Amino acid sequence: MSRTSLAAVASVFCAAVLTAGQPLADRPGFKDPALFARMPGYFLSVSSSFKESQFDAYEFNVRRNNRDIKERVEGHLAIYCYYFDTSTGKPRASGLQIARNYQNAATAIGGEVLYEAHPPYATTTVRVTKNGQEAWVEVRAVNEGMSYYVTIVERLAMKQDVTANADAWRNDIASSGRAVVYGILFDTDKATLKPESEGVLREIAALLAKDQSLNLLVVGHTDMTGELAHNMKLSEERASAVVAALVGGHGVAAGRLKGYGVGPLAPVASNDGEDGRAKNRRVELVKR
């Protein structure tokens, strides 16, 4: 499900009409996420207060290099919608108050604030790493603080059911001189390989083992998000990381590989949408 549709779902179920003055209580079985308690006076009170997906993606607002961009995060996704109990007669929290509370709670446990925006919606994005688990959180207040929702994605890699195929890459190289490789994953905005990349690296090593005459350029590609100079540098560092992993971890002779980065200069799809940007973030093996 796309970020737009997820946001629409959250807005709809957070906009449920509650009877004025009706005391609220959490719906049985509903509870707060492990990371955060809720604002005082708010409840998970109706059937649409919680949505969950074991593996999905969400595009979070992020402020980077003085620009507002979208950061796609994949993993376990949950949306919590809280409603204010008007029956108490107490004033509800403002959108800014809600956002600041979650920001302060996140930074108190070592997290960081990645984005904030105010009226008409008070929205913030925070990132927290706890016990080795990276969690991205968007908090958005709606209806002038009458309700707010918390979207959390615990970043993780999808269980891979389709494996890379060295034979397919060999055929691509034979026919076009290059093979496009997906499934080599890195930490966000870094050249650190994720453990989930190991299966693809093994297949590249198998490709080279089957053809001892084959030497390759390992070319890193990025999407168009961010500054050009940064993406050029990042793509080269990632290509070099792949080469180092193949040489150091899979016994490939160093002379058979050279790493280069071309950043966003050779897209295979439009950068206007996330599907296209995902295709542009890739590694290519080019015969030399």
Beta strands in the chain (DSSP E): 42-43, 50-64, 67-84, 112-117, 122-130, 133-142, 147-155, 178-181, 216-221, 257-261, 282-287
Q: What pLDDT is attached to residue 2?
A: 45
Q: What pLDDT is attached to residue 161?
A: 54
Q: What pLDDT is attached to residue 4?
A: 43
Contact status, residue 238 vs residue 191, Cβ threshold 8 Å: yes
Q: What pLDDT is attached to residue 111?
A: 94
Structure tokens at 271: 């950068």
**Residue numbers of the chain with a pLDDT score lower than 50:** 1-9, 17-19
Domain boundaries, the chain: 3-155, 166-287
Alpha-carbon dihedral sign for residues 11, 12, 14, 18: positive
Q: What is the pLDDT of residues 203-237, one digit of tens each?
A: 999 999 999 999 999 999 999 988 999 999 999 99
Report d(CA 135, CA 156) in Å as an integer. 9
Q: What pLDDT is attached to residue 66?
A: 86
Q: What pLDDT is attached to residue 157?
A: 59
- Domain 166-287 maps to which CATH number in 3.30.1330.60, 2.60.40.10, 3.60.140.10, 3.10.129.10? 3.30.1330.60
Q: What pLDDT is attached to residue 214?
A: 97
